[in-house]
Amino acid sequence: MKTILFSLAAFGTAIAATSAAEAAGGATREYKHNHWHFDGPFGAYDKEAVQRGFQVYRTVCASCHAVEQLSFRNFGEKGGPFHLDECPAGVPETTNCSNPSENPVVKALAAEYEITDGPDDSGDMFKRPGLPSDKIPGPYANQQQARAANGGAYPPNLALIIKARHHGPDYIYSLLTGYEDAPISVQLGPTQHYNPYFAGDMSQLLKPEYRDEEGHPLEGVKVPEGGVLAMKAPLADGIVDYADDHVPETVDQYAKDVVEFLTWASEPKMEQRKSLGVVTMGYLLILTLILFFSYRAIWANTEH
């Protein structure tokens, strides 16, 4: 009984907190909805979009955000954006390009990074080119260094950001494409940037003429939805050059591609999981039919 009462109390507290946040202006604008290639039980990644998204990440996001749970070898695994069933021309025939450790694209990609390794025989750490087995290094050595470089704000790790946010793909897409000028009723600081899709309490940023003596919004004053970020709008048209001239170099396309990449980064083996699920459901369906007809055959001549 104590456990039940405690659970009910916690639930009531959560509801009250949510209501208070909404009353204070903590609501966000409804996320933009897209048809993603990976949605649904038969959804799969668009490998070209994942490759472009990785390019956007490297060009724009990697200077602040890490994807440290991701290894270079993941790019060459089955379902990865650089997986090869056969080796390209010029690669020795003895090379097994389906193996991520021997994949020439993955090896070249990893070698573009410097990895801190060691200690050596003298006890010193040293730098070396990356290997497929290495994790993708982040931009900062530790959290304190990250905060110091970003005015106290800590850039989140993006490897699992899609899983960590409700309606992750739509949220990230809406956030990246949703930066706007702040409403006239609020006053932002020099390092604050308004986004209606980011949860926050805009009532604290209302100008004095829109608040009473106690700091509450005046009657009839609508608190803007959304919140403020320390990160300014990261994307701009033409900021990343795509090799395919038919793909538009716009903020909207960049956002879609980087969402595709981050979704793959959060679950590199999604396609294998879905394939196994389809096979399992088929097996269970066949088993159900066998059991049903077996039941009918066994009890056909028995009175009920």
Q: What is the pLDDT of residue 303?
A: 73
| The pairing of beta strand 227-229 with beta strand 193-195 | antiparallel
Which of 46-50, 82-86, 249-253, 293-297 comes out lowest in average pLDDT?
293-297
Residues 137 and 115: their CA atoms lie apart, in Å, by 7
Q: What is the pLDDT of residue 93?
A: 87
> Residue 246 maps to which CATH number?
1.10.760.10
Please give the share of the chain, as a percent, with pLDDT higher than 70. Answer: 91
Domain annotation covers residue 94: no
Domain annotation covers residue 7: no
Domain annotation covers residue 1: no
Domain annotation covers residue 42: yes
Q: Which of 174, 168, 172 is nearest to 270 (CA)?
A: 168
Q: Quick one: 295 exposed, middle or buried, by C-beta within 10 A (0-12, 13-18, 19+)?
A: exposed
Q: Which residues contact 4 (CB under 8 A, 6 or more apart)?
A: none
Domain annotation covers residue 110: no
Domain annotation covers residue 24: yes
Q: Which domain holds residue 33?
A: 19-70+135-296
What is the SS3 assignment for the chain?
CHHHHHHHHHHHHHHHHHHHHHHCCCCCCCCCCCCCCCCCCCCCCCHHHHHHHHHHHHHHHCCCCCCCCCEHHHHHCCCCCCCCCCCCCCCCCCCCCCCCCCCHHHHHHHHCCEEEECCCCCCCCEEEECCCCCECCCCCCCHHHHHHHCCCCCCCCCCCHHHHCCCHHHHHHHHHHCCCCCCCCECCCCCCEEECCCCCCHHHHECHHHECCCCCECCCCCCCCCEEECCCCCCCCCCCCCCCCCCCCCHHHHHHHHHHHHHHHHCCCHHHHHHHHHHHHHHHHHHHHHHHHHHHHHCCCCCC
Residues 190 and 204: their CA atoms lie apart, in Å, by 16
Domain annotation covers residue 262: yes
Domain count, the chain: 1
Q: How many CA atoms lie within 13 A of 298 on its CB side?
A: 6
Confidence of residue 270 (pLDDT cuts 50, 70, 90): very high
In the numeric block, the tokens 């590199």 are attached to 268
Domain annotation covers residue 206: yes
Is the pLDDT confidence value at 169 over 70?
A: yes
Q: Which of 84, 130, 74 is nearest to 104 (CA)?
A: 84
> What is the tens place of the pLDDT at every residue in 19-73?
444 444 468 999 999 999 999 989 999 999 999 999 999 999 999 999 989 999 9
Q: Which residues contact 255 (CB under 8 A, 6 or more apart)?
A: 172, 173, 176, 177, 235
> What is the tens place of the pLDDT at every residue in 215-237?
899 898 999 999 999 999 999 99
What's the token pair of residue 51? 């490759």
pTM: 0.83
